[in-house]
Amino acid sequence: MAVQKNSIVDFINASVAYLLLDVRSPAEFEHAHIPGALSLPLFDNEQRAIVGTTYKKQSREEAIKIALPFFGEKMRKMVELVEEWSKNFEKEMGQKPVLFVHCWRGGMRSAAVAWLLDLYGFKVIQLQGGYKAYRNWVIKQYSKTCDLKILGGYTGSGKTETLHALAHAGKSFIDLEGIANHKGSSFGALGQAPQPSQEMFENLLAEAIYKHQKLNAPIWLEDESQRIGTVMIPTSFFTQLKNSTCYFVQIPFEERLNFIVNNYGSFDKESLIGATQRIQKRLGGLETKNAIEAIQEGDIRRAFTILLKYYDKWYDKFSKANKSMVAENNLSSIEWLEAERVDPIKNANLLLGL
Q: Catalytic amino acids?
A: 103
CA 272 distance to own-chain centroid: 25
Within 10 Å of residue 110's Cβ, how many Cβ atoms? 28
Say how many residues make up the chain. Answer: 354
User: Rounded to whole angstroms, how far apart are CA atoms 209 and 220?
Assistant: 11
319: exposed, middle or buried (C-beta count within 10 Å: 0-12, 13-18, 19+)?
middle
Contacts of 151 (CB under 8 A, 6+ apart): 159, 162, 163, 220, 221, 222, 223, 246, 247, 249, 351
> CB of 182 within 8 A of CB of 229?
yes
User: Rounded to whole angstroms, how far apart are CA atoms 105 and 109?
Assistant: 9
User: Rounded to whole angstroms, how far apart are CA atoms 249 and 265?
Assistant: 24
User: Rounded to whole angstroms, how far apart are CA atoms 269 and 298?
Assistant: 8
User: Rounded to whole angstroms, how far apart are CA atoms 263 and 97?
Assistant: 43
User: Rounded to whole angstroms, how far apart are CA atoms 110 and 116?
Assistant: 10
User: Rounded to whole angstroms, how far apart are CA atoms 93 and 111?
Assistant: 27
> CB of 66 within 8 A of CB of 51?
yes
- Of 236, 239, 259, 264, the residue nearest 249 (C-alpha): 259
